[in-house]
Amino acid sequence: MKLTLKIWRQKSANDKGKIVDYKLDDVSPDMSFLEMLDVLNQELIDKDEEPIAFDHDCREGICGMCSMYINGRAHGPDRSITVCQLHMRSFSDGDTIYIEPWRASAFPVIKDLIVDRSAFDRIQQAGGFISVNTSGNTQDANAIPIAKESADTAMDAATCIGCGACVATCKNSSAMLFVGAKVSQYALLPQGQVEAADRVKNMVAQMDLEGFGNCTNTGACEVECPKGISLDTIARMNRELMKANI
Amino acid sequence: MKTLNSKIPEGPLADKWTNHKNKINLVNPANKRLIDVIIVGTGLAGGSAAATLAELGYNVKSFCFQDSPRRAHSIAAQGGINAAKNYQGDGDSTYRLFYDTVKGGDYRSRESNVHRLAEVSTNIIDQCVAQGVPFARDYGGLLDNRSFGGVLVSRTFYAKGQTGQQLLLGAYSAMNRQIGRGKIKMYSRHEMLDVVIVDGKARGIIARNLVTGEIERHSAHAVVLGTGGYGNAFYLSTYAMGSNVTAAWKAHKRGAFFANPCYTQIHPTCIPVSGDHQSKLTLMSESLRNDGRIWVPKNMDDVLAIREGKLKPTQIAEENRDYYLERRYPAFGNLVPRDVASRAAKERCDAGYGVNKTGEAVYLDFADAIKRYGKEQAHVKGLNEDDEALITTLGKEIVKAKYGNLFQMYEKIVDQNPYETPMMIYPAVHYTMGGIWVDYNLMTTVPGLYAIGEANFSDHGANRLGASALMQGLADGYFVLPYTIGDYLADDIRTGPISTETKEFEEAENLVKSSLDKLVNNNGTHSVDYFHKKLGKIMWNKCGMARNEKDLKEAISEIAALRAEFYKDVKVPGTANEYNEELAKAGRVADFLELGELFAKDALQREESAGGHFRDEYQTPEGEAMRRKEFQYVSAWEYKGEPKDAVLHKEELVYENIEVKERSYK
Amino acid sequence: MGGFFKSSIGRKVAMALSAFFLMFFLLQHLAINSLSVFSPDAFNEVSHFMGTNPLVQFVLQPVLIFAVVFHFVMGFILEIKNRKAVGVTYAKNNGSANSSWASRNMIYSGLVVLAFFVLHFIDFWIPELNVKYIQGDMSGLLEGTQDFRYFEELQHKFHSHIRTIAYVVSFILLGLHLAHGFTSAFQSMGGTAGRKTVLKNIGKAYSIIIPLGFIFIALYHHFKYVLS
């Protein structure tokens, strides 16, 4: 396959940045998207040009590090996957592919395709936990039965990998799917009830402080989320916050 | 010369840990706030240790190279975590978990450590549930278990196929609480590049800010490494791209002995390599072996026809299939431990029965499971049990519920539907049992320097059982280190803050800077990956699933030569004062090039077969691993300049509570 | 509670609450207007009642005005905040792959509806206020007759082609606004039912029937005039 790549290049946070065109021949359909970029980087290094910086680590769709806006969509054209799981067979010979970093004021670009997602960490630090100290005397794990449905729904929410595709794809750069997923996980489990009110208030307050936008329920985040986190988590967060304020 | 003192407490095995906890020194709460601890790595071990030490009151500085502590590679563990809860009432106990782990490790692990691990395993599950980890539950609301390789009970707790992720997010949430309280200071996108030793004690680290390139000095009263394994020495592995040995290797160079580097786990169920561009291998959870049957064709004609695409695996009749694990190991069948399953796959492929183009793949087939579950469902629902189509549909639903996400992942990568045609799998490097030598307190041979989780060597011997890595990481971080570190830090309550303005810090910083400058100004002709791939090839071909004297000797000289070529000819673009991934990679590969040689040297020295270490020269007539009594020790290597000069220290392994016998899964 | 409405979610809830009120208003407005097709007398009666009843005039009408103004102002504030949250935009963005046009363009459909409101105020509401409260004529009668003026006025407005076209276009945009807004309001209030079949279908029906009804009435009066 021959491809034309239009890639966002930005030297540092303060640089303006621009789209630069690259041509790549001999792309195998069995390559993953990131392996295709590896090949491009290898060519750039051989030509004494600076390779493209992009975040990636586990390359199996679970660490949430990879983060690219490909042809106008977070994690590219396929559903329910991250960039590292996207394979070149999803593209055709002669395609032009745009590759851009996540765009959101709360996710400033560090370099090229790398953005700073530490806002997500700070939201979790504001309340994304259950206050239990480590001890060998915690009550037995089976002491509180949890209905299978609650446990499963909590698990569905907990599968969020924190990649930020929801923010990137949202026309408002809203982080509500991410925060909703975390709030939901704890709201669905008995262990999370004690701090439920403070948790949702603090997390939402931090989310607002970080400069994420408002949710307008377009549902784009749910479609682009590699883990299929449901919009229901946002509704649950809305309920939790209303409950916490009454 | 340093001698090894494992500091195993006196007394009967089952009481050692309790007695030890009762006797060791503690630091009182008011003094804990005067003490700083650096923890490198935020996986299950590092993350849980950071959270727990901060809860206790220590000032923790936590480091990770990823952009968030939540992304450490523990997150990729799929299958589950073992604990001797005996919720299934199938005869599990602390002793049985201990026994299975020692046996699974082919009698090459330390008895006292493993027993402690089994003891605290139950606490881990309690702790994680209290944190809100959504483990799988049955309809009664109680925790569910599944079975894993090498054991005869169901003791594995799981959260879909994302157990590692959920446990890590649990530890991460505990960390977040402490970061929010100011008790943990988090340094993400930072890479540790050296340990600083002051007066013989570990007192800090040199770290590079990966965003700005700045070299930073950080001091503490103790340094803990939870930096994972070194499987990326093989280039292709199931490790994350960034996983590296650098922190552990720098510690080794500063005096920490490196134990059993040759013990590497090659996981039997990974997606086979598809081509030269391959950057990483993907694991398919071991849990698949609960239902999948592994086979290759019996007849060479069928193998060739499959490779040429003339025959489909589903067209091969039952009698022409060789379910080689069931044939060789009737008692454990497809659920033999990983090392055994991997070697058996290699044996078949070496004999020419591999089923893909490269001849390096075997089938993992769910057709029988689909039929079995389908029949079961049809029976339960009172439907026609002879309706093939119905049974297939019902069976697929069950298989989908159990393994759906794994099947989807397979289909994405291979572009084949595993519900319709068997999966192709092949072994891949997955875990390293070897690591930094530690005593019972998890302290390395450098006072004040600790190693936890996969970074140390202690609990898995020569082979790790499935679902035991998560257990060990969390045991070390939540329940062992927080106690044992107090014993050492009790002497430091009057030390006061450690200054970074000392000659030791300056010397370490200069060393780091000069080695970075050297790499960046080398102006060679080949990229870092070029050397890494070459190293990987040597490691895989000569230090892989089966090793022999000749190969290992070649590997040693080839790796040394490659290292020399690397320093002469590597090309690192950019500068040291900016975000520069190539530079970070270069530093990591430089260390792999040293470790690789020590790895081969260790494998050469160990003239026996045990667990993941298989020497062609030492096998039984049936081709099984042949352990040798004279090698019943831990090989701990002391750094002496070049890997070839490393000096061997032996920690004899004593088994008082378990009979060392042939490890049989037949 | 005060802090609640300053939070992002609180604002969403406020938008939803005002939307619910406006959607109810639209429903009753359409119901009354449709009388103009079936029975001019009934239309006149009800219009007179609505125009002179103190509860409607001095309680519901101010609430309506507040809801309208609030919904628009908050809509603009949120739009501005959201644009700021986005910062740099994508060189290539394929929004249609994951969301409907209506959901992504509420601000534009809303703006058209706002423009229509202005027209509507100029056409009906301001003259109405003028007649009733400035000139003080609360009779509701056509000058010099014993007939109510409401039906006459309504018919008169639809004589113009341009106004009728503007009217139709505005209601199509209102339909799009409602197509997303109806279920969105439920979602904002914490309900997931908006995405489940029954309520989703009610939302669909509502966002088609309401604008279609208004459009029908406009065209009915327009063509009645053109063809007569």
CB contact B240 to A (< 8 Å) = yes
Please report the pLDDT score of residue C1 as a whole number.
54
Closest to B586 measured CA to CA, from B157, B239, B246: B246
Q: Tell me if B165 sits within 8 A of A62, measured CB to CB.
A: yes
CATH of the domain at A129: 1.10.1060.10
- pLDDT 10s digits, A93-141: 999 999 999 999 999 999 999 999 999 999 999 999 999 999 888 999 9
C4 contacts A245? CB cut-off 8 A: yes
**Distance of alpha carbon A245 from alpha carbon A62, whole angstroms:** 35
Question: How many C-beta neighbours within 10 Å does residue B351 have?
Answer: 12
Please give the pLDDT value at position B401: 85
**What is the share, in percent, of chain B residues with pLDDT greater than 90?**
92
Are A235 and A133 members of one domain? yes
Q: Are residues A104 and A197 in the same domain?
A: no
- Do A137 and A153 sit in the same domain of this protein? yes
Give the mean model confidence (pLDDT) for residues B392-396: 95
The Cα B88–Cα C196 span in angstroms is 39
Q: Cα separations (Å) of B610 from B264, B383, B411, B616? A: 11, 50, 35, 11
Dump pLDDT digits (tens) for A183-205. 999 999 999 999 999 999 999 99
CB contact at 8 A, A123 and A175: yes
**Separation of alpha carbons C228 and C225, rounded Å:** 5
Tens-place pLDDT, residues B242-268: 999 999 999 999 999 999 999 999 999
Residues A169 and A56 in one domain: no
pLDDT digits (tens, 9 = 90+) for B161-170: 899 999 999 9
Asked whether the beta carbons of residue A231 and residue C187 sit closer than 8 angstroms, the reply is yes
State pLDDT tens for residues B411-423. Answer: 989 999 999 999 9
Spatial distance between the Cα atoms of B127 and B475, rounded to a whole number of angstroms:
11
- Which H/E stretch holds residue B652? strand B647-652
Percent of chain C with pLDDT over 70: 98
Of A111, A138, A186, the CB nearest to B126: A138
* C-alpha closest to that of B2 among B446, B306, B401, B298: B446
Same-domain pairing of A133 and A174: yes
SS3 state of residue B312: coil
Domain boundary (A56, A83, A110) is at A110
| A236 interfaces chain C, CB cutoff of 8 Å | yes
CATH no. for residue A14? 3.10.20.30
Query: Residue B578 pLDDT > 90, yes or no?
Result: yes
If DSSP codes are grouped into helix, strand and coil, which group holds residue B224?
strand
- Co-location of A147 and A211 in the same domain: yes
pLDDT for the residue numbered B79 = 84
Domain boundaries, chain B: 268-427, 518-652
As a whole-number percent, the residues of chain B with pLDDT over 70 amount to 100
The pLDDT of B524-540, averaged and rounded, is: 97
Cβ-Cβ contacts under 8 Å, C183 against chain A: 217
**pLDDT of residue C196 exceeding 80:** no
Q: Lowest-pLDDT range, B319-333, B612-626, C138-152?
A: C138-152
ipTM exceeding the 0.85 mark: yes
Cα-based distances in Å from C67 to A58, A94, C90, C142: 51, 53, 35, 31
Q: Does B1 have pLDDT greater than 60?
A: no
pLDDT at A9: 98
Average pLDDT over residues C48-71: 93
Assess contact for B439 and B5: CB atoms under 8 A.
yes
Residue with tokens 């609960």: B290
pLDDT value of residue C194: 61
- Alpha helix positions (H), B522-629: 528-542, 549-569, 581-605
Task: Give all strands (DSSP E) within chain A, no chain letters.
Answer: 3-9, 18-24, 69-70, 73-74, 96-100, 109-111, 114-115
Pick from B72, B4, B436: nearest CA to B251: B436
Count residue pairs from A and B with Cβ separation < 8 A: 212
**Domain limit, last residue, from A66, A83, A110:** A110
Judged by CB atoms closer than 8 Å, whether chains meet at A235 and C93 is answered as no
- Please tell me which of the candidates B134, B169, B277 has its beta carbon nearest to residue A35: B277
Chains that touch B (3 or more CB pairs under 8 A): A
Instruction: Tell if the CB–CB gap between B408 and A124 is shorter than 8 Å.
Output: no
| Other Cβ atoms within 10 Å of B535 Cβ, number | 26
For chain A positions 77-116, those within 8 Å of chain C (CB to CB) are 77, 98, 100, 103-106
Question: Residue C136 has what pLDDT?
Answer: 87
Nearest to A153 by CA among C187, B136, B171: B136
Nearest to B277 among A31, A59, A60 (CB): A31
To the nearest 10 degrees (0 to 180), the angle between helices C161-188 and A232-245 is 70
Give the bridge partners for A8, in sequence order.
Answer: A19
pLDDT exceeds 80 at position B123: yes
- Together in a domain, A126 and A194: yes
Q: By the CB < 8 Å criterion, does B282 face chain A?
A: yes
Distance separating alpha carbons of residues B457 and B599, to the nearest angstrom: 14
B449-451 and B258-259 strand pairing = unpaired
Residue of B nearest to A186 (CA): B132
Q: Are residues A214 and A133 in the same domain?
A: yes
pLDDT in tens, C99-150: 999 999 999 999 999 999 999 889 888 888 898 889 888 888 888 888 899 9
C-chain residues near A8 (CB < 8 A)? 91
* Domain termination residue (choose one: A53, A87, A110): A110
Does chain A touch chain B (at least 3 C-beta pairs within 8 Å)? yes
What average pLDDT does the segment B597-617 reach? 97
Q: Which fold has domain B518-652?
A: Methane Monooxygenase Hydroxylase; Chain G, domain 1 (1.20.58)
Q: Report residue C77: phi and psi, to 5°.
A: -60, -45
Range of the domain at A174: 117-245
In this structure, the answer to whether residues A206 and A130 fall within a common structural domain is: yes
Q: Are residues A41 and A84 in the same domain?
A: yes
What is the per-residue pLDDT for B345? 96
Which contacts of B416-421 are long-range, i.e. CB under 8 A and separated by 24 or more positions? B418/B366, B419/B366, B419/B370, B420/B314, B421/B312, B421/B313, B421/B314
Burial B354-365 (b: 16+ CB within 10 A, else e): bbbeeebbbbbb
Partners of A21 in the β-ladder? A6
Domain count, chain A: 2
Rounded Cα gap, residues A68 and A32, in angstroms: 13
* A241 closest CB neighbour out of C9, C85, C103: C9
List the single best residue of A5, A79, A98, A214 to mutate versus C (max C Cβ within 10 A).
A214
Residue B443 tokens, joined = 């302290």
Going by pLDDT thresholds of 50, 70 and 90, the confidence category of residue B294 is: very high
* Per-residue model confidence as pLDDT tens digits over B328-356: 999 999 999 899 999 999 999 999 999 99
Count how many pairs of residues, chain A against chain C, have C-beta atoms within 8 Å. Answer: 143
Residue A166 and residue A47 share a domain: no
Q: Is the pLDDT at C177 greater than 60, yes or no?
A: yes
Beta-strand pair A109-111/A96-100? unpaired
Q: Which residues of chain A have pLDDT under 50?
A: none
Residue B213, pLDDT score: 97
What is the enclosing helix (H) or strand (E) of B293? Answer: strand B293-297
7-46 in chain A: CB under 8 A from chain B: 12, 28, 30-32, 34-35, 38-39, 42, 45-46
pLDDT at B33 over 90: yes
Which pLDDT score, from 0 to 100, does residue C2 have?
A: 61
As a residue count, chain C comes to 228
